[in-house]
Amino acid sequence: MSCEMPSVNSSTKEIKTIFENTKTIAIIGCSPDTTKASNMVANYLKNAGFVIVPVYPKEETILGEKVYRNLSEIPFKIDMVDIFRKPDVIAEVVDEAIMRGDVDTIWTQLGLVNNEAAQKAKDAGLKVVQNHCTKIEHKAIFG
Tell me which residue range forms the domain holding 128. Answer: 12-142
- Which pLDDT score, from 0 to 100, does residue 1 have? 42
| pLDDT tens string 81-125 | 999 999 889 999 999 999 999 999 999 999 999 999 999 999 999
| 6 in any annotated domain | no
CATH code (residue 84): 3.40.50.720
Spell out the long-range contacts of 130-133 with Cβ–Cβ below 8 A and sequence spacing 24 or more: 130/6, 130/8, 130/9, 131/6, 131/9, 132/9, 132/15, 132/107, 132/108, 133/37, 133/41, 133/109
| 130 in any annotated domain | yes
The chain-wide mean pLDDT, for the chain, equals: 94
Residue 107 and residue 83 in contact, taking contact as beta carbons nearer than 8 Å: yes
| 115 in any annotated domain | yes
Neighbours of 95 (CB within 10 A): 15
The whole-model pTM stands at: 0.94
| 4 in any annotated domain | no
Neighbours of 88 (CB within 10 A): 10
| 109 in any annotated domain | yes
| 43 in any annotated domain | yes
Please tell me the total count of domains within the chain.
Answer: 1
| 128 in any annotated domain | yes
Closest CA to 94 of 115, 74, 73, 111: 115
| 138 in any annotated domain | yes
